Structure formats: C-alpha cells, structure tokens
Amino acid sequence: EPEVTQTPSHQVTQMGQEVILRCVPISNHLYFYWYRQILGQKVEFLVSFYNNEISEKSEIFDDQFSVERPDGSNFTLKIRSTKLEDSAMYFCASLAGRQETQYFGPGTRLLVL
C-alpha cells in the first residue's frame, strides 16, 4: 500500500540553525500539508500546498517557515532560524483529490537545543 514517507526520522539542531524536513507524498496526490505536534499537545495545522503554491496557512506558519516542492516528488518544510519552541513532531500529509482523505507520514521528531 502506498504511503507517505518522511526524512529524517529524528533531527537534533542548535537554536538559530536552519533545518529542512523532507516528505515524499504518495505519488498521484495533489494536496500536501504540514502539521506539528509539540510533546503532549494537540496536532496543529501549519500549511497546505496545492498547485505549487500555499493554499492556506496557520498563525504558527510565520516568516521563519517556508515550503517547497522542488522536484515534483519531494515536499519540504524549511525552518530558517530554529527556536527552542520549534521542538516538536512534524507530520506531512497528502491526499489525491478534493473528495479523498488525508494520509499522514510517520513524522520527523525535531529537537532544538
């Protein structure tokens, strides 16, 4: 069964450093998402992406965040200058079309020191 994959599974970085989280959505999917979950808290929406542009973003998704689909298969989330509070699990999701359901990847655990 096709699945969303994410790399790396774990990332440790120093505060102020840039990180790039990578996702490979299911191959025929058109809509892409990033969510995050701070330890012990709810899953929170960050951003959605369709047709090579952001379609919706939350208040969390400020200027430090950016997304890109550089090569038609990968979908990346970049955090330009990480803060301690960026430590969380980051989940990528994708879906095939408007009437379909979102499939989530296994997540990347980001720890900012």
Partner 1 sequence: DAKTTQPTSMDCAEGRAANLPCNHSTISGNEYVYWYRQIHSQGPQYIIHGLKNNETNEMASLIITEDRKSSTLILPHATLRDTAVYYCIVRVGSSGYSTLTFGKGTMLLVSP
- Number of other CB atoms surrounding residue 1 within 10 Å: 4
Q: Is 86 helix (H, G, I), strand (E, B) or coil?
A: helix
- CA–CA distance, 21 with 111 (Å, rounded to integer): 12
Q: Which residues inside 66-85 make contact with partner 1, applying CB under 8 A?
A: none
Alpha carbons within 13 A on the beta-carbon side of 7: 2
Binding residue for partner 1 (CB under 8 A) from 31, 61, 65, 75? 31
- CA–CA distance, 47 with 93 (Å, rounded to integer): 10
Binding residue for partner 1 (CB under 8 A) from 7, 45, 64, 76? 45
What is the smallest separation between the CB atom of 81 and partner 1, expressed in angstroms?
Answer: 26
33 binds partner 1 (CB under 8 A): yes
Binding residue for partner 1 (CB under 8 A) from 14, 28, 51, 99? 99
Cα 87 to chain centroid distance, Å, stands at 13
50 binds partner 1 (CB under 8 A): yes
Binding residue for partner 1 (CB under 8 A) from 20, 24, 26, 89? 89
